[in-house]
Chain A
Amino acid sequence: MSSSHSALSALRPGVLTNEKAIEITGMNKWFGAFHVLRDVNLLVKRGERVVICGPSGSGKSTLIRCINRLEEHQQGSIIVDGTELTADVKKIDEIRRDVGMVFQHFNLFPHLTILENLTLAPIWVKKMPKKDADEIAMHYLRRVKIPEQADKYPGQLSGGQQQRVAIARSLCMSPKIMLFDEPTSALDPEMVKEVLDTMVTLAQEGMTMICVTHEMGFARQVASRVIFMDQGQVVEVNTPDEFFKNPQHERTKLFLSQILH
């Protein structure tokens, strides 16, 4: 019992050492000849919740995938909590350890149980004893309200449950920053809320988050800033209130008129 207590008491959310969580300056990226991200500048401060929206193909996903190096940028700089992303594999691993990511299609590991999905990275990346990893995993499964599914396989869970497991899986690494790449787009309508509720709780606890999402209710409720992208460029940045009530750019107005009926 005592050791299980220590696992949880040793558990503290990742804390950013820098005031600037993510600093992207003059970043450009091409897919072949296609200029997918054009001169992106973005500063995300500690504890900020940034929502990125925009039409499909505007480069929102590519942008956040650059932050943990799932995509490589070709120009400009990305600094995550004081560490610049370069080709240096050690730095990439360091940053990935601190940055959690939730995908549109969950990407749980289908051959592992839910519990194993959660404990894999803590055990292998953080070299945590299995017992402690289990304890922490169960803690986060309770937080996303599905501790009873621990021994099932991902294929046996609903989409909403799977996405909550994916969020818990990221949290088990005590990330300092969380990236969400359209976390509710692949869900049945009935399951969107349970995932959003989890994300809202996380936001309220002060997690630094960047969310690519079209859930405008979520943006209104938790976002510190909303970023609108089109054709690989950041077109408009504003507080959610201003963004929805008083969009400035023509493209933003058109987009909002299309999605807010």
Chain B
Amino acid sequence: MTDMMSPTVSFVRPTVIEQKTPPFRTSGPLLWARENLFSSPLNMILTLLSIGAVWWVVPGMVQFMLIDAVWSATSSKDCLADVVKHPVGACWGFITARFGYLVYGQYPDAERWRVDLFFALEAFGIFWILWRKAPFKISGFAYFFLVFPVVGFILLSGMASIGLPTVQTHYWGGFLVTIVISTVGIVASLPIGILLALGRRSSMPIARLVSVVMIEFVRGVPLITILFMANVMFPLFVPEGWRPDSLLRVLVGVGFFSAAYMAEAVRGGLQAIPRGQYEAAQALGLGYWQMMIKIILPQALKIVIPNIVNNFIGLFKDTTLVAIVGIFDFLRTIQASLADPNWRSSQMPLAAYLFAALVYFIFCYGMARYAISVERRLATGNRH
């Protein structure tokens, strides 16, 4: 050190300086609180306000949803304060009593195991795809995008030749329909959306024109319009007896709707890939599809996973719109149950809609958390 002090110009370090640990503790709950909650006067005020808000809302919620709640009931009478002898909060008994209808709609009781199996197969496929360290990833995608849709369709609508009685789609309802519509939307929109995005960036004028018209048309009208067109106008133009199933028409509409939005998300990813990647692939002699499938799309899709999941969340919530064309999705079955004279009471909708909100929240929040974890993983720089 004294060398540095002396006025000499030349300096050669004789030894290597070893790494040392930093002098301050950089972790611990107190430090976390100081950095995240009380880092500035404004943050302090916000923190205190938030604590106040929680204090103000949570006890009432707990009282209503848990303490004063009625857990089993056979009709709205069981949820009257006079009957249960204490102030009544949420009447969960309504949900438990109508649970089967909310999940399966009017799907025949004896066949409901098929719906359960369908749910299980879907959950299995989703975990296979989303769980990062799962083995045989490619097979997972093949399963979810090829095998599962076919098996799921046969399972739900039946096939007489293998002993599964046919169940017409107008018996389907409740959560089943919500899941079917959002799954079809997701499964169809990703491949179609990718094709549309590639078409829009293609050098072939026709492919570009078709893609642009398709994307811009769909993005230019609300989903409700498409659903009305599918369910009300479409039958006017096709001959009697050649009318596809009403649920199928809605599924096609939803599929194209979400595909257009997916295309725009994917296009964003394609634009983010540097030109050098295309050139390196071309210089190696890869053809267009090889280049896209092996080099460009894996990178582009990875970038836009958060946007894609965002679209899925939007799609999942938009499925409630099918109620207006007469399809009994989850929310619609809740409304229908509320109209049941046996359950008519001013108390009932509170619990019913709380339950609906909770179910939608769990699914959407789950998807959002997954998107955030992917985003974090990509941000840490280990570009894999």
A residues whose Cβ falls under 8 Å from a Cβ of B: 68-70, 93, 96-97, 99-101, 103, 105, 107-111, 120-121, 124-125, 153, 155, 169-170, 173
CB distance from A179 to the nearest CB of B (A): 8
Q: Which residues of A contact B274 (CB under 8 A)?
A: 107
Q: Residues of B contacting A101 with CB < 8 Å?
A: 280, 283
A97 contacts which chain B residues (CB < 8 A)? Answer: 285
Closest 7 CB pairs of A and B: A107-B280, A107-B276, A121-B284, A101-B283, A97-B285, A96-B285, A125-B285
Instruction: Please tell me if the beta carbons of A120 and B284 are within 8 angstroms of each other in the complex.
Output: yes
Chain B interface residue count, CB cutoff 8 Å, equals: 22
The distance from the CB of B281 to the nearest CB of chain A, in whole angstroms, is 8
Contacts of A125 in B (CB 8 A): 284-286, 290
- Kindly state the separation between the CA atoms of A238 and B293 in the bound complex, as whole angstroms: 45
- Other CB < 8 Å A-B pairs besides A70-B279, A110-B383, 18 of them? A70-B283, A93-B287, A100-B283, A103-B279, A103-B280, A103-B283, A109-B281, A111-B298, A111-B299, A111-B383, A121-B284, A121-B285, A121-B286, A124-B290, A125-B286, A153-B382, A153-B384, A173-B284
Q: Is the CB of A96 within 8 A of B283?
A: yes
Decide: A111 near B302, CB < 8 A? Known: A103-B280, A124-B294: yes
**Nearest opposing residue in chain A for B298, CB measure:** A111
- Contact A155 B276, beta carbon cutoff 8 Å: no
Nearest CB of chain B from residue A170's CB, rounded to whole Å: 8
| A173 and B285 within 8 A (CB) | yes
Contact A105 B276 (CB under 8 A): yes
B282 at interface, CB cutoff 8 A: yes
Query: Could you tell me the distance between the alpha carbons of A103 and B284 in the complex, rounded to whole angstroms?
Result: 12
Please report the C-alpha to C-alpha distance between residue A81 and residue B287 in the assembled complex, in whole angstroms: 21
Instruction: Show the binding face of B for A, using Cβ within 8 Å.
Output: 274, 276-277, 279-287, 290, 294-295, 298-299, 302, 381-384
A70 CB to nearest chain B CB (Å): 5
Q: Output the nearest chain B residue to A100 by Cβ-Cβ distance.
A: B283
User: CB distance A124 to B286 under 8 Å?
Assistant: yes
Instruction: Say how far B160's CB is from chain A's closest CB, in angstroms.
Output: 44
Contacts of A124 in B (CB 8 A): 286, 290, 294
Whether A107 and B294, one on each chain, are in contact in the complex, defined by CB atoms closer than 8 angstroms, is no
- A153 near B280 with CB under 8 A, answer no
Query: Which residues of B are found within 8 Å of A69, using beta-carbon distances?
Result: 282
A101 and B276 CA atoms in complex are apart in Å by 12
Q: How far is the CA of A153 from the CA of B299 in the complex (A)?
A: 14
B279 neighbours in A (Cβ, 8 Å):
70, 103, 107
Q: In the assembled complex, how far is the CB of residue A63 from the closest CB belonging to chain B, in whole angstroms? A: 15
Closest Cβ of chain B to A95, distance in Å, is 9
Name the residue of chain B whose CB is nearest to the CB of A94: B285
The reply to whether B285 and A109 contact each other, CB–CB distance below 8 Å, is no
- How long is the Cα–Cα vector from A173 to B290 in the complex, in angstroms? 16
Q: Which of B282, B302, B383 contacts A70 (CB 8 A)?
A: B282
Considering the chains assembled together, what is the distance between the CA atoms of A155 and B294 in angstroms? 18
Q: For B276, B277, B283, which residue has the most chain A Cβ atoms within 10 angstroms? A: B283
Q: Which residues of B contact A170 (CB under 8 A)?
A: 283-284
A14 to chain B, nearest CB (A): 12
B275 closest partner in A (C-beta) = A107
Give the interface centre of A97, A107, A108, A153 by most chain B CB atoms within 10 Å: A107
